[in-house]
Amino acid sequence: MDELGLFPLPAVLMPGEQAPLHIFEPRYRELIAECLDRQADFGLVLADDAGMRVVGTRASVVEVLERFPDGRLNVVVEGRARFRVVEVTETRSFATAEVDELDDAGDEPTDEERARCLAAFDRVVAAADVELDELDRESEFLSFEIAGRIDLGTDVKQELLETRSERERVVRLAGLLDRAAKAVSREREIRERASSNGRVEAL
């Protein structure tokens, strides 16, 4: 167990996912400056109207995009290991906590379950007609690879982050992606019909 500086945000960062952050509050400028100086991680945790969650992701600054004269920063962070908050501490200007690593304790998905999840992912990408960062299809944590590329919403991402079974995450994702692919295809069909004849016909 060790103490980790926390950055509460209305967002979830998956292990392996990269995300841009704009650092403007003095306390978080202090946190990020310290992490850069020590090459240390900080903890990104979801915080919203329901409060701060107890499961988050260690994050590392992988690139400083811009430094402003007033001390603000634009950075890119990457998710590392998951952690669980054991006790919130008050030792710094920013939030801190004693944390434990959160490891999986469940089964691995079967080859068939992984294949179904990947097929559903491919259908979503094809339906949306977008280009995404290359997916590591052999990753031990395929669920995190996919969840970091598809916008599933904050609540779903947090649920996946807290789930301690790769098999449960993969099976859950396959169902979510199946529904998402159908919804994206239907939305695209409606747009195409509307643009071709000025109206949408009910089926």
- Considering the domain boundaries, does residue 138 fall inside one? yes
- Considering the domain boundaries, does residue 202 fall inside one? no
| pLDDT grade for 195, boundaries at 50, 70 and 90 | low
Spatial distance between the Cα atoms of 14 and 17, rounded to a whole number of angstroms: 5
Report the pLDDT value the prediction gives residue 202, as an integer from 0 to 100. 42
Q: Do both 138 and 80 map to the same domain?
A: no
Q: Do both 86 and 119 map to the same domain?
A: no
Asked if residues 58 and 84 have their Cβ atoms less than 8 Å apart, the reply is no
- Considering the domain boundaries, does residue 6 fall inside one? yes
Domain boundary among 50, 81, 101: 101
| pLDDT grade for 189, boundaries at 50, 70 and 90 | confident
pLDDT > 70? residue 8: yes
153 lies in which domain range?
111-197
Instruction: Extract the tokens encoding 151.
Output: 């916008």
Q: Which of 31, 45, 40 is nearest to 60 (CA)?
A: 40
Q: Which amino acid is at 100?
A: D
Q: Is the pTM of this model over 0.85?
A: yes
Domain boundary among 101, 135, 165: 101
- Considering the domain boundaries, does residue 203 fall inside one? no
Q: Do both 39 and 86 map to the same domain?
A: yes
Q: Do both 39 and 118 map to the same domain?
A: no
Question: What's the CATH number where 17 sits?
Answer: 2.30.130.40
Domain boundary among 77, 101, 125: 101
Q: Do both 116 and 151 map to the same domain?
A: yes
Query: Looking up tokens 């449960």, which residue turns up?
Result: 168
Number of domains in the chain: 2
Q: Do both 60 and 122 map to the same domain?
A: no
Per cent of the chain over pLDDT 70 is 94
Query: What are the tens digits of pLDDT across the range 34-82?
Result: 999 999 999 999 999 999 999 999 999 999 999 999 999 999 999 999 9
For residue 169, how many other CB atoms are within 10 A of its CB? Answer: 25
Give 22's strand partners: 74
